[in-house]
Structure 1
Amino acid sequence: MAPKKVMKSDAPLKRPKLTAKLDAKTFGRCYWEVKELTDFCREQGLSVTGLKADKARRVEIFLQSGRKEASSPRSSSSGSRDSALPGGITLKTPVRNYNNDAITRTFFQKHCGEGFRFNDYLRGFAKAVPKGKPVTYGDLVNGWKAAEDKRAHGMTRIGKQFEYNQFARDFFAANASSGRQDMMSAWKTVRSFQGPNTYKEYKKLQKRKAS
């Protein structure tokens, strides 16, 4: 009699603790809080400066190779930020020392609408202005609109650091009468496992639990 085949379990894997022994692939499949990343960086002697994405990149590089990456350079530009220029920012102003500050926000709200918010496209310029072809703030306005259009049509991958915001929006869209406590409970459930931290994944977990 032929032996029975053992079916490989497709049960979701629990999220492990963030330690120096964790492999980089598993790290990349999980959602990590800023505090977790910051604490790990301090424990391992890594830089804690920059955005959440910067810290996550340093941790991933460290787990892959043991290399301690230095903090990313802010910008090769020197001098005052563009928003402090006499006369302010215009569509023709060259981008030299970009900052996501209040004056810059006001400029973009004027040209992009009151619903404007800083996105990944603009955050890239806040880290460093690309070298090569000169870029104006008019180009940034057009680039922002193009990036938002892609996001609206689901053509942009959501960064790990924004998964919580997306989850909250999707949760309340499907559960209009629920409160924040319900959403947080659902979020803690989905982020406790490896894999996508989406509302769709949460529903899969709930379905599995009920079966």
Structure 2
Amino acid sequence: MSERPDLNKNLDSKTFKSYYYLKEELVNFLRKEGLQTSGSKLELTDRISHYLDTGEKKESKTAIKKSHLNKKITLNSIIEENFVCSEHHRKFFKEQIGSSFSFNVLFQKWLKSNSGKTYHEAVEAYYKILEDKKKGKTKIDKQFEYNTYIRDFFNDNKGKTLEDAIKCWKYKKSLKGHNKYEESDLDILTKR
């Protein structure tokens, strides 16, 4: 087993991408190097890879446009390009949907890929997403590697505990390569 290297500017991007790092570790590295720390884990990974390869400080693809922050949102308003989940938007959706509203990942994706549609359509999409979630297993996005691993672990190991799953996950993320569950990960449970 090769030991996971510390995240530092002397790594090359290939080595960096071969290991699992927590989002907190990515943010700390970016902050230390004077790079932008906002964005999803995938965006942060991309920004760090670019920096390690080129030394260039790549900015986030999404920038909040201040003109949208003060505009009154109505059901007939059009969803703007480069949508950003702001407190202004959260307030609107809570007024329309209720206090249980949250920007879940699927809804955020819908908003970001449906600029030009109305906020009325967004509210309808939110309810449809909730309904679809109730009907069955939803797809876990790529950046949620831990959640995917734990789900796959339990699909393959009905009698195991969460403690077992976490022990296997910690072992797996210390290895070079992918972080997908494999039956061979169970070997760590028999090692003392």
TM-score class, shorter: 0.5 to 0.7
Aligned counterparts of 1:108 and 1:192: Cα–Cα separation in 2: 42
2:37 counterpart residue number: 48
Task: Please identify, of 47-56 and 70-79, the stretch whose mean Cα deviation from structure 2 is larger.
Answer: 70-79
SS at 1:79's partner residue?
Answer: helix
Aligned pair 1:196/2:178, yes or no? yes
Aligned counterparts of 2:185 and 2:160: Cα–Cα separation in 1: 19
1:79 counterpart residue number: 68
**C-alpha contact (below 8 Å) 1:98/1:129 kept by paired residues:** no
2:144 counterpart residue number: 162
**C-alpha contact (below 8 Å) 2:111/2:122 kept by paired residues:** no
Aligned pair 1:185/2:174, yes or no? no
What number of residue pairs does the alignment pair up?
A: 177
Aligned pair 1:94/2:78, yes or no? yes
Give the root-mean-square deviation of aligned CA atoms: 4.0
SS at 2:165's partner residue?
Answer: helix
2:49 counterpart residue number: 60
* Code of the aligned partner of 1:74: A
Percent identical residues = 24
Q: Could you report, residue by residue, the CA deviation over 1:80-125 in whole angstroms, capped at 9, with x for unpaired residues?
A: 378x63xxx54x541035527375378679xxxx9x9722672485
Unaligned runs of 5+ in 1: 1-11
Q: CA deviation at 1:33?
A: 0.1
Q: CA deviation at 1:62?
A: 0.5
2:23 counterpart residue number: 34
Choose 1 or 2 for highest CA Rg: 1
Aligned counterparts of 1:21 and 1:80: Cα–Cα separation in 2: 40
SS at 2:175's partner residue?
Answer: coil
**C-alpha contact (below 8 Å) 2:171/2:188 kept by paired residues:** no
The TM-score normalised by the length of structure 2 is 0.67
Question: Does the C-alpha gap of structure 1 residues 187 and 117 become closer, same or farther in structure 2, counting only changes over 3 Å?
Answer: farther
The TM-score normalised by the length of structure 1 is 0.62
Once the two structures are superposed, the pairs formed by residues 112-131 of structure 1 within 5 Å of their partners are 118-119=104-105, 122-123=108-109, 125=111
* Code of the aligned partner of 1:51: S
Unaligned runs of 5+ in 2: none
